[in-house]
Structure 1
Amino acid sequence: MNAFHRRAARTAARGLVLPAAALTVLAVAAPQAVAHTELDTSSPGTEATLAGLPPNVMLTFSDDMTQKYARVAVTGPDGKSAATGEPEVRGKTVTLPLDVTSPAGRYTVGYRVVSADGHPVSGSYTFTVTTPPSPSPSPRAELSADAPPSAAARETQAGEAGEKSSGTTTALVGGGALVLVAAAVGAYVARRRRTGHDD
């Protein structure tokens, strides 16, 4: 009878050990599952429609990120990258600068980052830009509007001024010559008249 009770006790003990071990594994694994890093917010948001491309994309995660493993790409409707630099990590936020002159259309944001605890996170989403960027004025046009006249223009202006001065001089010389001729004719006529009176 004693042997029977001892065997029953050992069987019951073995039956309790397995559930206790399972509970211990679950208790250890639960914090890891809770600690899984996720994307909390993004700007622009998923499927957002914007009037123009923003100066950057901002991704905010549930944990601090590491700069070394931060990878973010933004691809435009022409299949080209819209980024103008590398992603920058500040705590939980990863920022990627964008070229605001990129064309209108559908953009795809792809990311793969690693949290400070070593948890990798990856994913993608899209947003749409409806208005193309306004054209900026040509630097050459701005320079031509503000710059002083060129050498050729100065020569042309000087030539025109010279022609005007030459024309004025010619007119003055011609007028003076006419006055001299008129004076000579007047003197000749007066002399003739005096000669006639003397006869």
Structure 2
Amino acid sequence: MYVNDRRAVRTAARALVVPAALAALAVAAPQAAAHTELDISSPGANAELAGLPPSVTLTFSDAMTQKYAKVAVTSPDGTPAAAGKPQVTGKTVTLALKPTSPPGQYTVGYRVVSADGHPVSGSYTFTVAATTSPTPTPPAKESTSAAAPRAAQKPAPDNPDKETSGATIPVLAGAGALTVAAVGAYAVRRRRAGHGR
């Protein structure tokens, strides 16, 4: 009787231990499988921007370590576009960019390690459009603005023929009067000369 009771206790213990162990594994499995991921990137993957942003910002699901945060940005001509080293603040890693970098497609590559030791790596691209310089406006023509005051100061005659004929008539009249006076004086002299004979 005593032996049977001991066997029953062992069997019950085994029956309870196995489910408890499985439950513990089930709870621990999601935590072990949950790796750090990139949650947000700015600029985002495949983004098309009008100008180069001052920095690239990556936000992860876990806090990062400054020592193992590696981020690189490559410009369209293959040269590094970073201005300094990545800066870590909690879950966010920020990398400043050179403002003189050319337009085109940029590649962001990262390899970081979270505070609990999980490494994360990846890459993506974004594009910066070429800036178009504004077309200079041509200077205003001086002739149009200068001609208006000149026209106001010196109006053009309505009929040039009238002005010319008006100036010619007094001259002709004066010449005619002189001719008549000369002919009259000549006639008077002839008459006097005839009476004197």
Q: Where in structure 1 do 4 or more consecutive aligned residues deviate above 6 Å? A: 1-6
Q: Deviations over 1:151-175 (max 9, x none)?
A: xxxxxxxxxxxxxxxxxxxxxxxxx
- Separation of aligned partners in 2, 1:123 and 1:24: 33
Instruction: Tell me the equivalent position of 2:25.
Output: 25
- Separation of aligned partners in 2, 1:17 and 1:52: 63
Instruction: Tell me the equivalent position of 2:47.
Output: 48
Are residues 93 and 118 of structure 1, via their aligned partners in 2, closer, same or farther at CA, if it must alter by over 3 Å? same
- For the 8 Å contact 1:76–1:105, the answer to whether it is kept is yes
Matches within 5 A, 1:154-169: none
C-alpha displacement at 1:15, in angstroms?
4.5
Instruction: Tell me the equivalent position of 1:75.
Output: 74
C-alpha displacement at 1:81, in angstroms?
1.2
Instruction: Tell me the equivalent position of 2:117.
Output: 118
The one-letter code matched in structure 1 to 2:22 is: A
Instruction: Tell me the equivalent position of 2:126.
Output: 127
TM-score after normalising by structure 1? 0.57
**What 5-or-longer segments of structure 2 have no aligned partner?**
134-197
C-alpha displacement at 1:13, in angstroms?
4.6
Q: Deviations over 1:103-157 (max 9, x none)?
A: 22111111111122222221111111111597xxxxxxxxxxxxxxxxxxxxxxx
Matches within 5 A, 1:1-199: 10-11=10-11, 13-34=13-34, 36-132=35-131
C-alpha displacement at 1:83, in angstroms?
0.9
C-alpha displacement at 1:74, in angstroms?
0.6
Q: Deviations over 1:75-110 (max 9, x none)?
A: 122222111211111222111111122222111111
- For the 8 Å contact 1:40–1:60, the answer to whether it is kept is yes
- Separation of aligned partners in 1, 2:28 and 2:107: 38
The one-letter code matched in structure 2 to 1:55 is: P
2:56 is paired with a residue whose SS is strand
May I ask how many residue pairs the two structures share in their alignment?
Answer: 133
Are residues 6 and 91 of structure 1, via their aligned partners in 2, closer, same or farther at CA, if it must alter by over 3 Å? closer
- For the 8 Å contact 1:103–1:133, the answer to whether it is kept is no
TM-score after normalising by structure 2? 0.58
- For the 8 Å contact 1:72–1:109, the answer to whether it is kept is yes
2:52 is paired with a residue whose SS is coil
Instruction: Tell me the equivalent position of 1:183.
Output: none
**What 5-or-longer segments of structure 1 have no aligned partner?**
135-199
- Separation of aligned partners in 1, 2:22 and 2:123: 37
- Separation of aligned partners in 2, 1:10 and 1:94: 55
- For the 8 Å contact 1:102–1:133, the answer to whether it is kept is no
- Higher-Rg member (1/2): 2
The one-letter code matched in structure 1 to 2:95 is: L
Instruction: Tell me the equivalent position of 1:164.
Output: none
The one-letter code matched in structure 2 to 1:18 is: V
The one-letter code matched in structure 2 to 1:25 is: L
